[in-house]
Structure 1
Amino acid sequence: MLARGREGFVGFADLGDVRLFHTDDGEGDGALLLVHGWGSDSHEWIHHIPALRARHRVIAVDLRGHGHSSIPEAGNTPQRMADDLARLCAALGVPRVIAVGHSMGGQVVSHLAVERPELVAGLVTIDPGYGFDGPVADGFPALMAALRDGDTHATAVQMDQWTYTPASPGWLREWHRRRILATPPHVLAEAFSAMFGPDGIGVRPRSDEYLARRECPVLGFWFDPAKAAWERGLFKEPRSRTVLWEGSGHRLHEERPGEFLLVVNKWVKEVMR
């Protein structure tokens, strides 16, 4: 078990095939596991950790290939990332978590909930990377090819533009541009293909089939009313619900951190009763 003092833990967990940077703060009710999106890292949660750790134990991790974690030559997929998180929780002596995932992180925590249901007490997903169909899904093969065979960073930065609205703050755009540029090209290409390729769960109907296996309560944040309604139809646990913030960008939790924390803290309290 990794050592953890009163002020929390900041450092690396050596899991054998990968080394994960993480922070581990707070000593309140339950444990929250914060999981960032594609081409990002755990700094994504800087607006949220101080408030959350006042109530809960909060673990924020850089996924394999991202941030300060090690960079495997292969295996940079949501499925492997979920397995890494299960092993990290075991190393930290955490038997049960509410897992919070943004974008690709929504896929990662959903894999964790399906494959390790005993570990996951609940999920919070923020505009998660699943449920795509129609023209958007039809365009994924071309994007995979461009990431694999072209200028990966230029393609990824261009792809990121859809995530913003005219109201999105300029610092957020620049912050994530720099995070993308700091992520190795092979990680970006492999992770994207694993999300939306033939074996991924990003595209319907594969999303429906896999996500219907989640038994825990889910709180889903969306800006698209159609996708919010779609996911609501997959829920099994009566405490599950969706939150719709039309007009927000893809990074709802970073654009509206105060409101996000109010909703999450209230829901987590209900789930932990």
Structure 2
Amino acid sequence: MPHAEISPTIRLFYTDDGSGGGPDDPPLLLVHGWGADSHQWSWHIDALAARHRVITVDLRGHGYSSVPETGNTPRAMAEDLNVLLDRLDVPEVIAVGHSMGGQVVSILAVEHPGRVRALVTLDPGYGMGQDLAGSFPEMIAGLRGEHAHAVAEEIDRWCTTSATPAVIRRWHKRRLYGMPPHVLAEAFEAMFTAPGAIGVRPASDDHLARRGCPALSIWADPGRAAWEEGLLKQPGSKVVCWEGSGHRLHEERPAEFVRLLEGWLRAR
């Protein structure tokens, strides 16, 4: 299982599986969410690698990758991925991101449009309304406080429903408590309240208007699904809502996610 040298201070852990697809089929790049790591894709890698090359990565500050004291932001993470793909001699990918990872791959597609042929975002960390945004400063203060992991666990409660399997709840709770608190705080702030953040509308609208590739977006919230559907202009784009699912809908419904992704890729 290799690491890639991204800069003198950043090494990214990644895995590279499968070799399927035709010569013109770009690899899938799978990007995890806030407070998680690439193990999040353990439910999907085998099925996807049967037909595709699949690259998964631990973002900076997460998993087995480097943990810098500062710079743990979606924009820096997107730049890391761009360098990683250079290191792997991969010119173009289908970028798949969950939650914060949805922000990261969306930024990658905007800042490096030739790098991303298509996007897949899973309950992405953008499109939040101003009503919810009002609670973010208090959450960030808690993440910078004495009980950061307990605050992160409380934030994480909204990610599940009564139908979420216990193993998913347990895995993510354990992962959160293993995270460096400063990464949790810095990444959350950079997603939603820091200058240049794209997580809250109208900044989300402005960002999505800059994307030039087709996108498949899967939501648990019908309101945010309808919002993004009104913004996707690229031919072949599609929005799906799995109402009643938790935030980690691809983990709760892994086989259905793989079928939906494969079907969308074939239809493009």
Which residue does the alignment assign to 2:15? 23
Which residue does the alignment assign to 1:205? 202
What does residue range 4-43 of structure 1 map to in structure 2 within 5 Å? 10-16=1-7, 17-29=9-21, 30-43=26-39
Which of 63, 66, 80 is the aligned partner of 2:62?
Answer: 66
Instruction: Report if the CA contact (8 A) 1:214-1:236 is conserved.
Output: no
Which residue does the alignment assign to 2:234? 237
Matched, 1:131 2:122: no
Q: Distance in 2 between matches of 1:112 and 1:258?
A: 27
Which residue does the alignment assign to 2:217? 220
Which residue does the alignment assign to 2:253? 256
Alpha-carbon offset, residue 251 of structure 1: 0.3
| Amino acid of the structure 2 residue aligned with 1:19 | R
Which of 177, 181, 193 is the aligned partner of 1:181?
Answer: 177
Specify the SS of the correspondent of 1:208.
Answer: helix
| Amino acid of the structure 1 residue aligned with 2:137 | P
Alpha-carbon offset, residue 148 of structure 1: 1.5
Which residue does the alignment assign to 2:93? 97
Deviations 1:100-128 (A, max 9, x none): 00000000000000000000000100000
Alpha-carbon offset, residue 135 of structure 1: 2.4
Are the structure 2 counterparts of residues 73 and 198 from structure 1 closer, same or farther at C-alpha, using a change threshold of 3 Å? closer
TM-score under structure 2 length normalisation? 0.96
Which residue does the alignment assign to 1:266? 263
Q: Distance in 1 between matches of 2:134 and 2:144?
A: 17
| Amino acid of the structure 2 residue aligned with 1:99 | A
Alpha-carbon offset, residue 136 of structure 1: 1.1
Q: Distance in 1 between matches of 2:41 and 2:18?
A: 15
Q: Distance in 1 between matches of 2:134 and 2:70?
A: 26
Matched, 1:88 2:81: no
Q: Distance in 1 between matches of 2:145 and 2:231?
A: 36
Which of 112, 117, 120 is the aligned partner of 1:116?
Answer: 112
Segments of 4+ moved more than 3 angstroms:
none
Instruction: Report if the CA contact (8 A) 2:130-2:201 is conserved.
Output: no
Specify the SS of the correspondent of 1:191.
Answer: helix
Give me the CA root mean square deviation: 0.9
Kindly tell me the number of residue pairs found equivalent between the two proteins.
262
Q: Distance in 2 between matches of 1:108 and 1:15?
A: 16
Q: Distance in 2 between matches of 1:262 and 1:214?
A: 25
Which residue does the alignment assign to 1:7? none
TM-score under structure 1 length normalisation? 0.94
Unaligned runs of 5+ in 1: 1-9
| Amino acid of the structure 2 residue aligned with 1:191 | A
Q: Distance in 1 between matches of 2:130 and 2:64?
A: 36
Give the fraction of aligned pairs with identical amino acids, expressed as a percent: 60
Q: Distance in 1 between matches of 2:143 and 2:169?
A: 20
Specify the SS of the correspondent of 2:144.
Answer: helix
